[in-house]
Structure 1
């Protein structure tokens, strides 16, 4: 008895059925089979669904089905996405090419039977669309938006001042939302103080705030357990514990005020979330983004800065505070030190101080550097 692979054509394409539009029926079965194959690898729907949508977009753009696609069609698709008012980045183009390549690799795998189906029904078979000669080469380690950078200390302060000013302004205007603006200000400060991502911040519960017996001065807020860290594809969320550092000890008062005074006024009942809404739900990542944008605009900061820049700032400032690279890497949950280094953007002042310290050790106290 032969066991079929989860994405086999024989499992998703009904036999002895005459379709009014056989080409469309086969294409839909291909997508269903690929979804099953990926699901069997424990990939989540948040990974599978965007991949399927990309395949749909390529079919809609070309007006052709996978067994008709040629390299020129893939090149035209990427060229189209790179044009217009919102062109995709190089890294995005590469990820699209990889996704399309994975789909075609699935179709060309003899174990799934799609080659025979296409040859029998259409007289054509799928082929690779992207190859070494027409795909984006990975020539540099980092291809992210160069406009994304750490905030300076003054910019962080300006952002927090703008967030703190909103509740009084809203109250003075007689509008609703004072409690949520107080919450938003606390969230932004916590994101910076612990270097968390937006989804990690959204998924935090009250029980994730814990004591650190090595730092009793921080009370119940000596560490933060991140249980929904960014995961690798097909893997469970990564966990890590972020320790409260002395330079960020001001977050203890912020969290104490939020948990003991502000949060109870939202009547959260038994809801476990650290950050709750007025309707007693969990604050969504999008809400945290919007809070940052509102404060950024009020502070008059660069519009290219986004919420993730606070994480860049956390990494950079920990480095400038003198923490070892390995400690910083563990705090933010990076698997590789090279990833942490990408986030870092230390100031010229810090570099000059470091240089001055080294040169004084070598040449004596009379040596000095001019910034």
Structure 2
């Protein structure tokens, strides 16, 4: 496992222990129901987040109660009792469908995206004209929002981009050296390294945005990272998310269903609405299965479109053949 994964799961165990105020060898199913009942009703955690908590705790209790490791005998000798498994199917969240996102989450409309990008550009000009510091960070964040949409990227994929991750597409030379974007830190499977993929540039304005950023925004920083932070490291998600939320508030857009991932949702949705082949969009998004891309798909697939078209044509044909006047 990654060290971040280990640390996160250890925090889940500590939080549970602090909440129930009992050591693991005194945990019961009642503690499980009380703790996660509070997380659902008070903190309103999503189904997938609850499942991540419970999965980590289930792994922990399986470990400490497994006789192969001997912790049960140690606890019995020292405390007169031993830990046991208290997380079961009947008191934990189950994973029964592929998509577990909140229903409120949605893509941007084209008009909303245009307003957002224009507002981000105006913010850069406003800060620069005032002579204050921060115009470069605002410019960087504006470009990050545009690039995230241009290639349908997750945030972790976006923050790891480097200047060497772009290449010419021989079949679309109008994009110059930004015809292909190499994603090296794609979403990985369990116990696997990041999954790389290549995403083709599809929007005419993308190359210009990147060229201007490299020439006038990023400058001559001694780092290969495309979007370095002020201290030279990688951008953290909260930094870009705070700016996005502030822009949405200033524009009067409801931010409850919009987030950074909405840019990725928008990319898939807009390509499909524009008539791009669903299989091409699937490859661009890095989805192994078409059903995953279908989560983002707000338009019908070819089969349903063909069926609808045939039905409409048949209905129209019957209407044209129908006799007029008093004839039946």
Specify if TM > 0.5: yes
> How much has 1:139 moved relative to structure 2?
4.6
SS of residue matched to 1:150? coil
| Counterparts of 1:353 and 1:250, CA distance in 2 | 30
Cα contact 1:67–1:126 (8 A) shared by 2: yes
Residue in 2 that maps onto 1:151: 108
Residue in 1 that maps onto 2:212: 257
Residue in 2 that maps onto 1:176: 133
| Counterparts of 2:66 and 2:286, CA distance in 1 | 36
Residue in 2 that maps onto 1:66: 24
Per mean C-alpha deviation after superposition, the further-off stretch among 182-191 and 137-146 is 137-146
Residue in 1 that maps onto 2:255: 303
| Among candidates 195, 209, 217, match of residue 166 of structure 2 | 209
Per mean C-alpha deviation after superposition, the further-off stretch among 170-179 and 217-226 is 170-179
SS of residue matched to 2:39? helix
> How much has 1:222 moved relative to structure 2?
0.5
- CA-to-aligned-CA distance 1:249-306 (integer Å, 9 cap, x gap): 2111111111123222xx41x3101113444444333332233223322322111111
1:316 counterpart = 2:279: no
> How much has 1:74 moved relative to structure 2?
1.0
1:93 counterpart = 2:50: yes
Residue in 1 that maps onto 2:155: 198
- CA-to-aligned-CA distance 1:37-73 (integer Å, 9 cap, x gap): xxxxxx1011111111111111111221111111111
| Counterparts of 2:33 and 2:116, CA distance in 1 | 43
| Counterparts of 2:318 and 2:227, CA distance in 1 | 53
| Counterparts of 2:148 and 2:269, CA distance in 1 | 14
| Counterparts of 2:132 and 2:210, CA distance in 1 | 25
Residue in 2 that maps onto 1:40: none
Cα contact 1:317–1:346 (8 A) shared by 2: no
> How much has 1:359 moved relative to structure 2?
5.2
| Among candidates 233, 241, 253, match of residue 198 of structure 2 | 241
> How much has 1:111 moved relative to structure 2?
2.2
Give the total of aligned pairs.
Answer: 318
Residue in 2 that maps onto 1:287: 239
- The unaligned stretches of length 5 or more in structure 2 are 320-328
| Counterparts of 1:315 and 1:145, CA distance in 2 | 18
> How much has 1:346 moved relative to structure 2?
4.2
Residue in 2 that maps onto 1:106: 63
| Counterparts of 2:188 and 2:282, CA distance in 1 | 16
| Counterparts of 2:76 and 2:317, CA distance in 1 | 80
TM-score norm. by structure 1 comes to 0.78
- The unaligned stretches of length 5 or more in structure 1 are 1-42
| Counterparts of 1:99 and 1:234, CA distance in 2 | 15
SS of residue matched to 1:242? strand
1:76-87 paired onto structure 2 within 5 Å:
76-84=34-42, 86-87=43-44
Distance 1:94 1:157, change over 3 A: same
| Counterparts of 1:366 and 1:288, CA distance in 2 | 56
| Counterparts of 1:288 and 1:355, CA distance in 2 | 43
Cα contact 1:160–1:295 (8 A) shared by 2: no
Distance 1:73 1:284, change over 3 A: closer
> How much has 1:308 moved relative to structure 2?
0.7
| Counterparts of 1:54 and 1:281, CA distance in 2 | 28
| Counterparts of 2:128 and 2:310, CA distance in 1 | 53
| Counterparts of 2:271 and 2:147, CA distance in 1 | 15
| Among candidates 270, 277, 286, match of residue 333 of structure 1 | 286
1:15-94 paired onto structure 2 within 5 Å:
43-84=1-42, 86-94=43-51
TM-score norm. by structure 2 comes to 0.87
